[in-house]
Amino acid sequence: VDKFVDKHELYPQISQAAELLRAGEVVAFPTETVYGLGANAASSAAVKKIFQAKGRPSDNPLIVHIADYDQLGQIAVDIPDVAQTLIERLWPGPLTMVLKKRKNVVCEEVTAGLASVAVRMPAHPVALALIRESGLPLAAPSANRSGKPSPTSAMHVLADLNGKIAGIVDDGPTGIGVESTVLDCTTDIPTILRPGGVTKEELEHLIGRVHVDAALLNEKEKPKAPGMKYTHYAPRAPLTIVEGTSGFLQQLVDEQRALGKKVGVLTTEERQLTYRADAVISCGKRSDLYTVARHLYDALRAFDEAEVDMIYSECFPNHGIGTAIMNRLKKAAGYRVLYEK
């Protein structure tokens, strides 16, 4: 990256980044969930650079980020009432809606040839300012190399994409830490394709019944969001989720260390002092799962630095924001879970 600009000069940074975007370059920027890698959603050439920089398969469509409601009308058509309600209540915010695509604005590369388009209005002043200043709808996936944990700081972006993109707008660590919830609004009853920052409970409270894509409940089903089939979020060392007591988890660690392995443990503040291992990393407070969501990817990346051979992770409750945490953790673990007898 040759234009890594100082975060204390926020506004010059945004206008510089906007200029690069208008010139067809790709630039990373913060959102309230994770850092995104943005490009002009109307330009095939610009969007191709995103896929190139990330090493992302071209059949995996991108989310279009907008800053006002007029932009929505330029991108999508036939917006159903439920979507309208959610727009009023939850935008800007970590909710992506899959809607019917309006032809001839967003390029084919963004939607991977689908008739639908995923749209969101991020709740981050820098993201909104960048979209407005560039005057463009921005196609933006998470700004990581494909397969790696999503970036929650500019340093993560730099570690993955240095030399491959035109710049990063740095505004410190992101707040939510897991990606937006992807909700398919083209079905009669909206369907969650990816759990994220907005919980199923919150959606149901606003619009009543909400379905969950079968692939989220059974790993053998084919997911409806193309991106959900790929390995993702994985640290270098193999990760195993442990469902059981900390005593059981410690026993697994001891067995591997006796074999000469360097072992990491992913835990929470409450239990951090109970483990003996080569790297014991806390990802937040179990009593407040939003802190776990915020620090999860940073914790996963920290194991790469600790150079452990394997990682055991604690399990989290599968409701509220815990659903998104467990979804990411299971993918990072390649669905390896060990249960205490």
CB of 284 to ligand TXA, least distance (A): 18
DSSP per residue, 142-196: BSS-TTSPPPSSHHHHHHHHTTTSSEE---SS-SS-SPPEEEE-SSSS-EEEE--
31 binds, among ligand TXA, Mg ion, none (CB under 5 to 8 A by kind): ligand TXA
Distance CA 101, CA 196 (A): 23
The H or E element that residue 118 is part of is strand 116-120
Q: Report the residue from 228, 302, 311, 321 that binds ligand TXA according to the rule CB under 6 A.
A: 228
| Residues from 34 through 73 that contact Mg ion (CB under 5 A) | none
Q: Report the residue from 124, 194, 200, 331 that binds ligand TXA according to the rule CB under 6 A.
A: 194
| Pairing outcome for strands 36-40 and 116-120 | unpaired
Residues with Cβ within 8 Å of residue 190, at least 6 apart in sequence: 82, 83, 183, 184, 203, 207, 210, 211
| Residue tagged 């204390």 (tokens) | 8
Give the residue from 296, 291, 259, 297 showing the smallest Cα distance to 278.
Answer: 259
Compare residues 62 and 129 and give the one whose CB is closer to ligand TXA: 62
Q: Could you say which DSSP state residue 209 is in?
A: -
* Only segment of 13-21, 138-146, 161-169, 316-324 that touches Mg ion (CB under 5 A): 138-146
- Interface map 81-110 toward ligand TXA (x if CB under 6 A): -------------x-x-x------------
116 binds, among ligand TXA, Mg ion, none (CB under 5 to 8 A by kind): ligand TXA
Q: Report the residue from 138, 166, 193, 249 that binds ligand TXA according to the rule CB under 6 A.
A: 193
Tokens, residue 150:
């999503």
CB of 226 to ligand TXA, least distance (A): 4
| Residue tagged 């790696």 (tokens) | 148
Distance CA 202, CA 93 (A): 13
Rule CB under 6 A: say whether 75 interacts with ligand TXA.
no
140 binds, among ligand TXA, Mg ion, none (CB under 5 to 8 A by kind): ligand TXA
Rule CB under 6 A: say whether 31 interacts with ligand TXA.
yes
Nearest residue to ligand TXA, using CB?
Answer: 227
Rule CB under 5 A: say whether 142 interacts with Mg ion.
yes
* Only segment of 70-78, 100-108, 136-144, 288-296 that touches Mg ion (CB under 5 A): 136-144
Distance CA 249, CA 235 (A): 19
Give the number of C-alpha atoms closer than 13 A to the C-alpha of residue 220, restricted to the C-beta side.
0
- Contacts with ligand TXA, residue ranges (CB under 6 A): 31, 33-34, 36, 60-63, 94, 96, 98, 111, 114, 116-118, 122, 140-142, 179-180, 182, 193-194, 225-228
- Contacts with Mg ion, residue ranges (CB under 5 A): 142
